[in-house]
Amino acid sequence: MAATRFGLLQAATVLAISCPVVCHSQDAAQTAGENSGVLERIVVTAEKRPSVAQETAIALSAFSGETLAENGVSSLTDLSSIAPSVNFGTQINQTIVVIRGVSTRDTTEVGDPAVSVSIDGFNLQRASGLNTSMFDLERVEVLRGPQGTLLGRNATGGAINIITAKPADDFSSSLSAEVGSHETFNTNGHVNLPVNDWLNVRAAFQTQSHDGYRDNAPAKDADDEDSQAARLSLAFDPTERLSGIITAEYSRTISHGPAYYATPVETYTAANVPPGLLVGDIILDQPAIHDARFPLPPGQHVNTDITNVRGTFSYDLDFATLTYVGGWRRMDVDRLTSHGGAFGTIRQNFAFQVREYPRSWNHELRLNGDPEARFFWQVGAFYFDEKNSLPVSQFVDYPGSPGFVGHFVPLSSFVSDRIDAEAKAMFGQVSYEVLPKLKIEAGARYSEDSKMRRGANGSTSLGDYLTTRCGARGSSDCVYTVSPVNWQGDWSQPTYHAGLNYQATPNNLLYAKFDTGYKAGGFTQVGNYGPEKIQATEIGSKNRFLDDTLQVNLAAFYYDDTDQQVSQFITLPNGSPLSVIVNAGKSEYKGVEMDVAFKPTSSDTLDLYVAYTDSQFTDFKLAVGGLYRRIAAAEGKLDALGNWQLAGRAPPQSPEWGINAGYDRDWPFFGGTLNTRVQTHYESESYFSVQNNDSDKQKAYTKTDLLVTYKPPTERWELQGYVRNLEDSLILTNSADASSTAFLTYRYQFAAPRTYGVRWTMNW
């Protein structure tokens, strides 16, 4: 066996060297057991019941708290380095989560994500403030594919479940400090205190601080962070039947906001204008992006305060377990951010100002049978309610100012004193072992959603403003059109699950399943858009070989996505810019995934994840005018009603290839252990727009991390050095539509550049 393992190690090493990317393991089941020489088996709750990841018929990745800490995962977006088929985008300060190419770009106050994100079972509705809960974690589960039955709405692409560390029976504490490039100084720690035989308490905190990644002079460097978060949890089991956990969490983030790279657009001349276009039309090719100085006006900021109180309570009824999960969350958002107008022009001080105060409640009541029984069942009810106010939401200019200070002129405003969202659902799922090792599953959910918005919209002609500069000196000579807003929408949808699972051996699982998913509709200034619905078929296999040292998981899937909610940029008749959401006609996603982990010795771990996804719109007619109308006509894809047929184009952020691969090794060193790790993520090209303009392209890239960690024999402390994004790859997280005549710029946002640092942790 040792000789065989050595031969396999040689082959795997050759594979890693010949592979264009190298990285560390990312499935929870790929995490090496401590000095055990085998791959660890981790228990997850992806199906709202405990199950071993390798015996759960879902394509999932789970990361233990130790793995997350070792990889320096301190924000949701950090998961992109280690989570297969997961991408992240941004729109200003909003996080967009993409799984297997499925996402939504609606990050407005009435929008919903396409990937459900929860913490301890509490659904996080807003796309802001998702990064501040990633500390003192037990694990993170990433579920690929629709989760429409058990998780319901807003899980058409998948789900990310964040599970925090729970109070335990033994005393423990830790303290960690990190220093690094860009004046990074991060701290975190915890104290776990057993009070008596039925009550335990755990307190944890995190602070993160770093300077901006980009030089935005004369403004402060943007893409910076200054955040603090704290969490207090109480776990109790006063009787054999009753147990519960109550958690209170607070976080505050202050920053100078995102760094927009804005460079003036180029236009066609008589010498290079293509047939069908006009001289002066904007060229939709990507300019040379220089990751150096991005001038921004001073005064930009993004501040967020979040308070969350949540709890989980379980009671054993003998025949079943009754569980309640729920709580309350308050978020205060105050942002003033650049819209990326060309610096040095009268457009440079275009900005968007928002104050938003959403308050949300989550409630779920669930009754579960015995998970070890031949027949397992669970039923439940879910209720979500969010009340929001938007006293300030406006597109403004600061004429004649050195930045976003002093007198401003509101060009468009969208003010609401009441924004409500309500969701109700009933669900149930059963599994039955019809033959030894063969189970069938079935589930259903019925969801009802309603949304309303009350307020007023007001705007002035942008063209007139740029010509006359009305209001520039504080006068009120701008002409405004004001209209009341009283929008409301109601939607309902059943979703289903059917599955067949065959546990051929304790180490080999075959499964096939069919799921449907649903995401509620909404409304924009130009009208309502409908729900998004998805049907997904998946077959897969999860396997362990060679005495739990080799893992090979395979999956193939097909999605039929109808009425996909996508964002498009339009210009209102008065010239004001507006991003609106529309329903695409039809999209399809076809893909295969291979997830391999190999531990040839107790000191070595090799990992390789390869995903191929073919995704495209199959029928998507987009109403267009101006430049896009001329492009559609030149392509021969403009119908008689003025719609551009975009069939064949790819949905946003859906690359064909995604690869994670890597290698780590433990070395004896001064009586302790020195772990060296190299990990890389590779992505083929993708786009940020439904039009798939070259100006919106994310080129293929690799992102490699190097980590070295030393632990002494007692393992009471550890010291880690790291370099992330070794190549210093320029990775886009957003590309604004360059066709806008309001800004006249190509506009981009970026992920972090190369960073490096040292982290020290002490454990008691």
Specify the higher pLDDT residue, 266 or 20. 266
Residue 428 lies in a domain: no
- pLDDT of residue 24 exceeding 60, the answer is no
Q: Whole-number mean pLDDT of the chain? A: 87
Residue 231, strand partner residues: 204, 249
Answer whether 518's CB lies under 8 Å from 531's CB. yes
Asked if residue 204 belongs to a domain, the reply is yes
Whether residue 427 lies inside any domain: the answer is no
pLDDT score recorded for residue 321: 96
Percent of the chain with pLDDT over 90: 60
Question: What's the pLDDT tens digit per position in 676-714?
Answer: 999 999 999 999 988 999 999 999 999 999 999 999 999
Q: Give the other-Cβ count within 10 Å of 521's Cβ.
A: 22
Distance of alpha carbon 171 from alpha carbon 588, whole angstroms: 52
Banded model confidence at residue 11, pLDDT cuts 50, 70, 90: very low
Q: Categorize the per-residue pLDDT at 726 as very low, low, confident or very high, splitting at 50, 70 and 90.
A: very high
CA distance 493 to 535: 13
Residue 420 lies in a domain: no
**Predicted pLDDT at 134:** 85
User: What confidence tier does 609 reach under pLDDT thresholds 50, 70, 90?
Assistant: very high
Check which CATH number belongs to the domain holding 261 and give it: 2.40.170.20
Q: What is the C-alpha to C-alpha distance for residues 746 and 751, in angstroms, rounded to an integer?
A: 17
Residue 20: predicted pLDDT? 33
CB burial string 582-596: b at 16+ within 10 A, e below: bbbbebbbebebebb
**pLDDT confidence band for 14 (50 / 70 / 90):** very low
- Summarised one tens digit per residue, pLDDT across range 206-229 is 999 999 998 888 888 889 999 999
Cα 228 → chain centroid: 21
- For residue 273, pLDDT over 90 is answered with yes
Number of domains in the chain: 1
What type of residue is 229?
A
Span 23-30, average pLDDT: 36
How confident is residue 719, by pLDDT bands cut at 50, 70 and 90? Answer: very high
Model confidence band, residue 303 (pLDDT cutoffs 50, 70, 90): very high
Task: Report yes or no on 374 lying in a domain.
Answer: yes
Encode pLDDT of 390-408 as tens digits: 898 999 999 989 999 998 9
Give tens-digit pLDDT for 122-136.
988 776 666 777 899
pLDDT range class, residue 12, cuts 50, 70, 90: very low
pLDDT at 9 over 50: no
Higher pLDDT among residues 70 and 332, named by residue: 332
In this structure, are residues 228 and 207 in contact, taking their beta carbons and an 8 Å threshold? yes
Is 23 a residue whose pLDDT tops 50? no
Are 548 and 39 contacting, i.e. CB atoms less than 8 angstroms apart?
Answer: yes
Higher model confidence: residue 570 or residue 455?
455
pLDDT of residue 570: 58
Q: 683 CB contacts (<8 Å, ≥6 apart)? A: 87, 655, 657, 658, 659, 698, 700, 701
Picking from 360, 329, 186, the residue whose alpha carbon sits closest to that of residue 251 is 329
Instruction: Convert the pLDDT of each residue in 32-42 to its tens digit.
Output: 344 468 998 88
Q: Who has greater pLDDT, 74 or 740? A: 740
* Domain membership flag for residue 127: yes
> Cα separations (Å) of 622 from 129, 350, 474, 577, 646?
32, 28, 40, 17, 7
**In degrees, to the nearest 5, what angle opens at C-alpha 665 toward C-alphas 661 and 666?**
155
Predicted local distance difference test score (pLDDT) of residue 599: 95
Entry pTM? 0.88
Q: Write the pLDDT tens digit of every residue in 468-514.
A: 888 876 656 788 889 888 888 899 999 999 999 999 999 999 999 99
Confidence band (pLDDT; 50, 70, 90) for 2?
A: very low
The winner for highest mean pLDDT among 8-12, 25-29, 120-124, 553-557 is: 553-557
Which residue segment(s) compose the domain that 307 sits in? Answer: 2-356+363-412+441-763
pLDDT above 90 (res 260): no
Q: How far is CA 600 from the centre of its chain?
A: 34
Using CA atoms, how far apart are residues 475 and 460, in angstroms rounded to an integer? 14
Instruction: With H, G, I as helix, E, B as strand and everything else as coil, classify residue 527.
Output: strand
pLDDT band at 466 (very low <50, low <70, confident <90, very high): confident
Q: What percent of the chain stands above pLDDT 70?
A: 91
Rounded CA separation 147/46 (Å): 10
Q: Per-residue pLDDT for 575 more than 80?
A: no
Residue 336 has pLDDT above 80, yes or no: yes
| All residues at 6 or more sequence positions from 475 whose CB lies less than 8 Å from its CB, including other chains | none
Q: Is residue 434 part of a domain?
A: no
**Would you state the pLDDT for residue 713?**
93
Closest listed residue to residue 585, CA positions, set 540, 623, 614: 623
Nearest-CA neighbor of 559 among 90, 54, 59? Answer: 59
Q: What is the DSSP string of 49-105?
A: S-EEGGGSSS-EEEEEHHHHHHTT--SGGGGGGTSTTEEEEEETTEEEEEETTB---
Among 3-12, 454-463, 600-609, 630-639, the range scoring the smallest mean pLDDT is 3-12
Q: Which residue has the higher pLDDT, 464 or 380?
A: 380
Specify which of 123-132, 562-571, 729-738 reaches the highest per-range mean pLDDT: 729-738
- At 486 the pLDDT is 87
574 pLDDT more than 50: yes
345 is a domain residue = yes
Q: Residue 475: its pLDDT value, please?
A: 58
